[in-house]
Structure 1
C-alpha cells in the first residue's frame, strides 16, 4: 500500500505543494480496474446506449430491468464489503463504475446513484450489525432497490427544517412516521426507504430504515413530469402513521442531519464521476457528426469555430477526470490509513470521505457545470439537428441540467467549500493563517524583478498555480479579517472566492496528472494533454482575475483596495503567454483525427 500521501488532508492542496509523483491518475488503474471499466463500458454499449429512446419515452420498467442486469454483474455492490454480499472494492473502483455506467443516460445514472449511494451507504456506514446483515445483502444483490427520503416541500437546501414527524407508539415498540417527501428518486420501484423525521421537538432530525409496505400507511404521488432524466422514477412519498420498529432507527436519535450531510459528501464526488463519461460520449458523438457534416464542400470539423468548441469540450473532460480520480485516491488512502490504525471499515470510510468534503463540493460544481456546457456545445455543433429529439444531444443536455441541482445546489456547494475550509483552519487542520500572513508580507515587500528559469515542463504553470493560491489567501484572508463570523452572510463574496478555489484545484490536478505521465511516458506522448493543461490554466487565470477583482472592489476600500488589486495583478501574471488558438487546434485536430474523445 502506498504511504506517500499520509500527510495529505482535505483542503491542504491550497497550502501544501503536491508532487506529481504523488497524485493518482486514470493511467494508474490496476489491471483489475481496467477490466472492471471495460466490463461496465461493454454493458452500457450493449444494454443501454442502443435503447436511449426507451429511456426518453418514460419506460420506468426498463430502468428497473437494467438495474437488475447491473445487479447480476455485481455492479450494485461494488462498494459493499464482501461479508454483506458485495465485491468489497476500494473507493477508486467504485468511482470508476459510477463513471462509466452513468454516461449513456441520466435516467440510469440517477437510479444507480440513488440506489448505490444514498439508498445503501447510510445503512452500511451508520447501521447496526443487525441492520447491515438484514438489509445490505438485499440491496447489494438487487433483490431490493433503495431510495432516500429527505427533501420536503418546505425543506430543500435547509434539510434540517423538515416537518415529517416520528411519534413513539404507546407500547414503545414502534415509531409512527407521518409526513410528505418529494423528489424521491427510485420511489416507483424501491423496496426500502431511508427516511428522515423529527422526534418530538428535537433540534435535529433522525434517520429510519423503512420497508415499503403499501398496507403500512405509505402512498405515492404520480410520476413527476421532468425536464430530463425521463425514466428515473421520481415521486412524492406520503407516510401516514407508518409503523417502523424502534430497532430500525438509523444511528442515534437526532443524528439524522449528520447522516444526511455525510451521505451528500459521498454523493457529490460520485455525481462528479457520473458527469465524466457523459462528457466523453457527447464529445465523441459531436465529433463524428462534425466529421460527417459537409458545408461549403468542407467537413464542419475543419472550421476554426467548431475546433474551438471541440477543444474546450475535450479539455474540461480531461481536467474533470484528472481531479475526480486524484481526490478519489486521496479518500481511498485516507480510509486505508484509518483502517490500519485500528478503526472499523464503517468509521474509516465515514471519516475518510468527510476529510475531503471540500474537494467533493469543488468537484460537484466543476464537473456538473462542465457537463452542462459540453452538452450545450454538442447541440451547437449539431446545429438544427441538435435541437431534435432524434439526436442524442437534446436528451444529453436535458439530463445534464439536474446535476447542478441535486446533491446540494451548486450555489450551496460553492459556499460550503469556502466555509468548510475556514472551519478547518479554525480547528487547526489546515494552516491558512501562516500562509495568508506570508502573502500579506510579500505584498508589502519589494517585488522580485528577476526573470525566472522556466525551461522545465510546466515550470511557469506551477508558479502560476502557486500565485493563484496566494491570490485566494489574500482575498479570503482579508474577507475573514473584515467580516469575521459574519462572512457567511456575504454570499456573493463567498461565491467569488469559491470560484477561485475551484479553478486552482482543477487546474492543478490537470497539470500534476500530465506532468506525471510526461515523466514516465515521455513528453511527446503527452503533447495534447500538455496543450489541454495549459489551455485550462489560461482560462483559469482569466476567471481568477475577474472573480478576484469582483470580490476586492466589493469589500475593500482605499489603500487596501489598491494594494489588493496590485497583488491580484501580480498573482495572475504570465511571463510567457501561451498561443491559445494553437493549443486549441492541436487538441481539436487530435480528437477530430481519432473521431472522438481519445485521452
Structure 2
C-alpha cells in the first residue's frame, strides 16, 4: 500500500547552480550532436557579428534566434535538462537499446531530483511549477537522446500526474503526486485496448459499483501501455454502468491485476511496454477520480502528452540532422566532402527548415497554453506535423550516412525506429488529420458511412 509522505521540493528553481556543477560530457555518438556541445553557454550568446551586407550573421543552429524568445528561466531549464540528458542518459542508451534495458526507478529518481517529472505541476504537490514552454524544452532534450526515455517521462508527467492533479481529490494529490514527482513511484496510463486504439469511445473495459462493500470492480484489458510492467500506480479508464468513461487509481498490489511485458519490439526498446489485465479488481471508492466523467478526462491527458511529444520529436530530428551534417563535412568522396554536394546541401536545408518552423509552432502553442488560450486542434496540428517531419528527417539522415547509417553506433537508425512508433501513438498521423478536418469543415468524418 502506498502511504503519503513528506517530500522535498525538486531543485529546478536552483538550476543555475545545477548547470554549474554538471559536467557536460562528450557525446557517446561518433559525432557531436551540436557544434557547441562542450560549451552550451555559447548557445545563449547572441552573436552580434555582421556580414558584408550589414545583417546579423546567420546561426544555422538557431536560425530564428529562438533563444531570444525564451525567458531566463526557460534557458536555464533547457541547459540543465541538456546537461543531465547528455551526462546521465546518453552514455547508457546504446546498450540499453541493444539489450532492452528499460528506464528503471533509479533513473526516474534522478530525473525527479532535477524536477523533470511533472514539471508543470505546482510546487505544493512536489512539481516544479514551470510553464508549458519549459516542459516542451525538457521533452526536446530528453528525446534528443531517445524517444523511449521521453515516452516514460511523458507518461509519468502528462498521463499519470496530470489526471491526478486535474481530476483527483485533494487526498489523492497529496498521496501520489510528490512520490511520482520524485520518481519514487512509477505510473502508467491504461486507455488503449486490444480492440480499440484510435476509437476509445468503444472501450470494453467495464466497472461496476458494489454498494455493499463500497468498492468498484474492474474487468477488462489494455494494450501497448508504456511503463505498465514496472508501474506502481495505474490510471485505468473504464466504462461504468451508466455508459460513462470513468478514471481510477489502481495500485500494483491489487488482486486480479497483471501487467505482462510485450516482447519483440523493434522500437522504444529502452522503455518498458506491456499489457494490463483486470479480473475482478476491487478498487476502494476513494480511488476513483472524482472530478471528471466522459472522454474529456483521458483526452485532456492526451492533449498534454501530445504537446510534449511535438517538442520532443524535434530533439530527435535535430540530433539526426546534426549527425548527418557532421558526417557530410568529414566524409570525402570523389576528392571532396559530401557536404560540397548540392543534393546534400538541399537535404540539410530542408531538414533545418522543418525543424525551425516546427519549433516556432511549438513555442506559439506553448505560450497560448500558458495563457489558457490554446485549442486542442492546435496540438493535433503540431503533433501531426512535427512527428511526420521528424520521421522524414531521421530517414533522410540515415540515407546520408550510407551504409554506416544502419549502425547503431551512429544512433540515427535507432531514432528512425523510435519515431515510427511515436508517429503512431497518441493519435496516428491520419487521426490527427481527421481532427483537423473536422475543425476546418465542421463535419466529423471518423465513422465511415458503411459502419454498422
TM-score tier by shorter-chain length is 0.7 to 0.9
How far is the alpha carbon of 1:221 from its aligned partner? 2.2
Counterparts of 2:381 and 2:261 in 1: how far apart (Å)? 34
Which of 387, 393, 416 is residue 368 of structure 1 equivalent to?
387
Aligned to 1:100: 141
The verdict on how the C-alpha distance between 1:395 and 1:487 changes in structure 2, with shifts beyond 3 A counting, is closer
Q: Which residue of 1 aligns with 2:302?
A: 264
Written as runs of structure 1 = structure 2, the 5 A alignment for 1:201-350 is 202-213=242-253, 216-251=255-290, 255-334=293-372
CA deviation after TM superposition for structure 1 residue 112, in Å: 0.8
Aligned residue for 1:80, secondary structure, equals coil
Deviations 1:149-173 (A, max 9, x none): 0011111111021111112225241
Q: Does 2:412 match 1:393?
A: yes
Report the 3-state secondary structure (helix = DSSP H, G, I; strand = E; otherwise coil) of the residue aligned with 1:408: coil
Separation in 1 of the partners of 2:320 and 2:183? 29
- CA gap of 1:373–1:41, structure 2 versus 1, over 3 A, is same
> C-alpha distance in 2, partners of 1:63/1:144?
11
Give distance in 2, aligned partners of 1:222 and 1:96. Answer: 30
Task: Give the drift of 1:490.
Answer: 8.0
Q: Aligned-pair distance for 1:256?
A: 3.9
Distance 2:65 2:247 in 1: 35
Question: For residues 24 and 268 of structure 1, do their structure 2 counterparts lie closer, same or farther at Cα, with a shift above 3 Å needed?
Answer: farther
Question: Cα deviations across residues 451-483 of structure 1 (Å, max 9, x unaligned)?
Answer: xxxxxxxxxxxxxxxxxxxxxxxxxxxxxxxxx
In the TM superposition, 1:484-495 aligns within 5 A as: none
Aligned pairs for 1:519-530 (under 5 A) are none
Say if 1:244 and 1:489 are closer, same or farther in 2 by CA, change over 3 A: closer
| Cα distance in 1 for residues equivalent to 2:245 and 2:446 | 23
C-alpha contact 2:320 2:397 (8 A) present in aligned 1: yes
Q: What's the TM-score, normalizing by structure 2?
A: 0.81
Q: Which residue of 1 aligns with 2:229?
A: 188
Structure 2: tracts of 5 or more residues without a match? 1-63
Partner of 1:348: none
Does the C-alpha gap of structure 1 residues 112 and 206 become closer, same or farther in structure 2, counting only changes over 3 Å?
A: same
Question: How far 1:224 moved relative to its partner?
Answer: 3.1
Structure whose alpha-carbon radius of gyration is higher: 1
For the residues of structure 2 that align with 1:300 and 1:190, how far apart are their CA atoms?
47
User: Corresponding residue for 2:39?
Assistant: none
Cα distance in 2 for residues equivalent to 1:308 and 1:39: 33
CA separation in 1, counterparts of 2:354 and 2:326? 19
Preserved contact between residue 24 and residue 329 of structure 1 (Cα < 8 Å): no
Instruction: Give the unaligned 5+ runs of structure 1.
Output: 1-22, 335-351, 424-484, 492-599
CA displacement at 1:47 relative to structure 2: 1.3
Assess, with a 3 A threshold, how the Cα gap between structure 1 residues 408 and 488 changes in structure 2: closer, same or farther. closer
Q: Report the Cα distance in structure 2 between the residues aligned to 1:412 and 1:251, rounded to whole angstroms.
A: 29
CA distance in 2, matches of 1:413, 1:28: 28
Q: Secondary structure at the match of 1:137?
A: helix
Equivalent in the alignment of 1:37:
78
Per-residue CA deviations over 1:56-93 (Å, capped at 9, x if unaligned) read: 12443544432221111111131110110111111221
Q: In 2, distance between residues paired with 1:265 and 1:208?
A: 19
Is contact 1:210-1:244 (8 Å) kept?
Answer: yes
- The DSSP-based 3-state class of the residue aligned with 2:234 is strand
| Structure 2 residue aligned with 1:199 | 240
2:119 corresponds to: 78
Q: Say which structure is richer in helix.
A: 1
Cα deviation, 1:254-277, whole Å, max 9, x if unaligned, reads x14111111111122111011121
Cα distance in 2 for residues equivalent to 1:66 and 1:282: 24
Looking at structure 2, the residues matched to 309 and 128 of structure 1 have their Cα atoms a distance apart, in angstroms, of 51
- Report deviation, 1:55: 2.4
Normalising by structure 1, we get a TM-score of 0.62
Pair 368,486 (structure 1): closer, same or farther in 2 beyond 3 Å: closer
Partner residue of 1:7? none
Aligned equivalents of 1:99, 1:380: Cα separation in 2: 23
DSSP-derived class of the 1:250 partner: coil
CA contact 2:434–2:444 (8 Å) conserved in 1: no
Aligned to 2:433: 414
> Is residue 148 of structure 2 the alignment partner of residue 111 of structure 1?
no
Aligned to 2:93: 52
- Measure, in 2, the Cα distance between the counterparts of 1:381 and 1:266: 34
